[in-house]
Chains A and B, each alone.
Chain A
Amino acid sequence: GIQVEQSPPDLILQEGANSTLRCNFSDSVNNLQWFHQNPWGQLINLFYIPSGTKQNGRLSATTVATERYSLLYISSSQTTDSGVYFCAVPPPSNYQLIWGAGTKLIIKP
Chain B
Amino acid sequence: KAGVTQTPRYLIKTRGQQVTLSCSPISGHRSVSWYQQTPGQGLQFLFEYFSETQRNKGNFPGRFSGRQFSNSRSEMNVSTLELGDSALYLCASSLRETSEQFFGPGTRLTVL
Is B70 at the interface (CB under 8 A from chain A)? no
Set of chain B residues within 8 Å of A86, measured between Cβ atoms: 43
Pick from A14-22, A62-70, A96-104 the stretch touching chain B.
A96-104
Instruction: Please measure, in the bound complex, the distance between the C-alpha atom of A13 and the C-alpha atom of B54, giving whole angstroms.
Output: 43
Q: How far is the CB of B11 from chain A (nearest CB, A)?
A: 14
Partner of A45, one of B35, B48, B56, B100: B100
In this complex, how many residues of chain A approach chain B with their Cβ under 8 Å: the count is: 21
Tell whether, in the assembled complex, residue A97 and residue B45 are in contact, meaning their CB atoms are under 8 Å apart: yes
Is B108 at the interface (CB under 8 A from chain A)? yes
Tell whether, in the assembled complex, residue B90 and residue A99 are in contact, meaning their CB atoms are under 8 Å apart: no
Tell whether, in the assembled complex, residue A30 and residue B43 are in contact, meaning their CB atoms are under 8 Å apart: no
Tell whether, in the assembled complex, residue A99 and residue B55 are in contact, meaning their CB atoms are under 8 Å apart: no
Set of chain B residues within 8 Å of A99, measured between Cβ atoms: 42-43
Most buried by B among A40, A86, A88, A97: A97
Instruction: Please measure, in the bound complex, the distance between the C-alpha atom of A101 and the C-alpha atom of B35, giving whole angstroms.
Output: 14
Q: Please provide the chain A residues from 20 to 44 with a CB less than 8 Å away from any CB of chain B in the complex.
A: 30-31, 33, 35, 40-43
Tell whether, in the assembled complex, residue A94 and residue B56 are in contact, meaning their CB atoms are under 8 Å apart: yes
Instruction: Please measure, in the bound complex, the distance between the C-alpha atom of A30 and the C-alpha atom of B92, giving whole angstroms.
Output: 18
* Tier of interface size on chain B: 20 to 34
Given contacts A41-B88, A43-B90, A86-B43, contact A95 B105 (CB under 8 A): no
**26 pairs from A and B in contact (CB 8 Å cutoff):** A33-B100, A33-B101, A35-B103, A41-B37, A41-B90, A41-B106, A41-B108, A42-B103, A42-B105, A42-B106, A43-B103, A45-B102, A88-B43, A95-B48, A95-B50, A95-B55, A95-B97, A96-B33, A96-B45, A96-B48, A96-B56, A96-B58, A97-B43, A98-B45, A99-B42, A99-B43
Please report B residues at the A interface, Cβ cutoff 8 Å.
31, 33, 35, 37, 42-43, 45, 48, 50, 55-56, 58, 88, 90, 92, 97-98, 100-103, 105-106, 108
